[in-house]
Structure 1
Amino acid sequence: MKLAFESRSQNESFARVAVAAFIAQLDPTVEEISDIKTAVSEAVTNCVVHGYKDCIGKIYITAKIYPDNRVRIIIRDAGCGIPDIERAMEPLYTTCDTGERAGMGFAVMEAFTDRLQVRSTSGKGTSVYLEKRIASKAAR
C-alpha cells in the first residue's frame, strides 16, 4: 500500500484508518490494531509538527505485509530532518519550544511496535520504519 497526503493535522486520523484498513486482512486483534494506529499516529504527528513546522509538505506512507504476518510501515517526509536522532529518541526531548509537546513520540512508537528504526538527513527529511508481527488465529 502506498499513500501520499499533505502534512495537515486532520490527515493524521486518515493515516491511522488507512493503515488499519490495510492490515485488517490479517485479522488482527483489537489490541494489535490499536497499537499500530497509535504508532502511525505518533509518526505522522511528528512529520506535521517537527518535519514541516513552518510549512505544508507531503507525508508518504508505505505498508507491506510479509508471509510471516509481519507488517512493515514506513512513514516518510521531506521536511527539515533530525540533526541528532539518538537525542531525539530520548524520552521527554522535543524541539518544540512552545511547551505543548511531551517529547514521547518515539518512545510511544517503540512501545507499540516490535521494531522501530529512524533515518534522517538534515534538510532532506525523515523516514520512520515500524514493524509489528500480527499473531495468527492459530497462535491465539
Structure 2
Amino acid sequence: AAQLDFTLNELEEIRVATSEAVSNCVIHAYREQSGEIQLELKIQDETLSIKVIDGGCGISDLDLAKTAAYSTDPERMGLGLVFMESFMDQMTIESQLNQGTQVLMVKKPERSKDSNDDGQ
C-alpha cells in the first residue's frame, strides 16, 4: 500500500479493514479449530485490492452479518464488516456454507481520485 500515494489516515483504514477481515476468519470461520487463511494483495491502475479467503464454515445470512452490532459471538461488538465497508471504497463478500468465505476489499488513494477528476 505504501507504493501508492495513500495518506496516513488511509493506510490506517486499510490496516483496520484487513485486520477485521482476518480476525473474522480466526473467530468465526474456523470456530476455534485450525484452518488456513489466504491473503492476496494486488496493485493495478493506482488501486489496491485485498482478498481474504478462508475455507471455514461460511456465512449463512450475509445481509444479517452486515448489520451493525450483529455477531455470532456474544462477546464481540459486531462492527467488523461495518468498519470494513466504511473504510474501503468497495467490499464484496462471497460465501458458501461449509465451503468458506472470500472478502474482496478495494481502495484507491484520495489523491488519485482527485487527479483523475481534474482531467475530465
TM-score for both structures, normalised by structure 1: 0.77
Aligned pair partner of 2:87 in 112, 115, 119: 112
Q: Give 1:59's aligned amino acid.
A: I
CA shift, 1:111, in A, is: 1.0
TM-score for both structures, normalised by structure 2: 0.89
Q: Give 1:94's aligned amino acid.
A: S
Unaligned runs of 5+ in 2: 116-120
CA shift, 1:81, in A, is: 0.4
Question: Do 2:49 and 2:104's aligned partners in 1 also have CA atoms closer than 8 Å?
Answer: yes
Tell me how many residue pairs correspond in the alignment: 113
1:88 maps to 2:65? yes
Residue 64 (structure 1) aligns with: 42
Residue 6 (structure 2) aligns with: 28
CA shift, 1:91, in A, is: 0.7
Aligned pair partner of 1:42 in 1, 14, 20: 20
Residue 9 (structure 1) aligns with: none
Aligned pair partner of 2:97 in 117, 122, 137: 122
CA deviation vs aligned residue, 1:74-116 (integer Å, no higher than 9, x gap): 00100000011111111111111xx310111110001100111
CA shift, 1:125, in A, is: 0.4
Q: Secondary structure at the residue paired with 2:106?
A: strand
Q: Secondary structure at the residue paired with 1:25?
A: coil
Residue identity over aligned pairs, in percent, reads 40
Residue 17 (structure 1) aligns with: none
- Name the Cα RMSD after superposition: 1.3
Inter-partner Cα distance in structure 2 for 1:90 and 1:116: 14
Inter-partner Cα distance in structure 2 for 1:54 and 1:100: 15
